């Protein structure tokens, strides 16, 4: 029993759903970053010179995550544009 390829509308809906999901992930990553920044700013320092290295590493991980999510979002947008042009 052969599977039929998805129709144009099914492909469009799938790509659109992935684009929306990527947008949500980017927004959530930004919100977590802002929340973490607020907690970090409000927390009083226990030492005169607290180590900044762990926070810098965390910020870098979040920045990398945001970059990857934006790349995925742009890729999905491009795919959606190509699907729309085929019609």
19 neighbors 66 (Cβ within 8 angstroms): no
48 neighbors 78 (Cβ within 8 angstroms): no
pTM strictly above 0.75: no
d(CA 41, CA 39): 5
Instruction: Write the pLDDT tens digit of every residue in 25-47.
Output: 877 877 777 777 666 655 555 65
Mean pLDDT of 1-14: 73
Query: Among 73, 65, 81, which residue's Cα sits nearest to residue 18?
Result: 73
Q: For residue 23, what pLDDT band results from cuts at 50, 70 and 90?
A: confident
Task: Reply yes or no on whether the pLDDT at 82 is more than 60.
Answer: yes
């Amino acid at each position: 029993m052969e599977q039929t390829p998805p129709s144009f509308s099914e492909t469009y809906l799938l790509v659109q759903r992935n684009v929306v999901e990527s947008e949500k992930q980017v927004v959530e990553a930004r919100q977590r970053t802002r929340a973490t920044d607020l907690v970090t700013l409000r927390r009083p320092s226990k030492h005169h010179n607290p180590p900044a290295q762990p926070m810098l590493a965390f910020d870098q991980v979040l920045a990398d995550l945001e970059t990857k999510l934006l790349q995925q979002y742009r890729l999905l947008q491009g795919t959606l544009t190509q699907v729309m042009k085929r019609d």
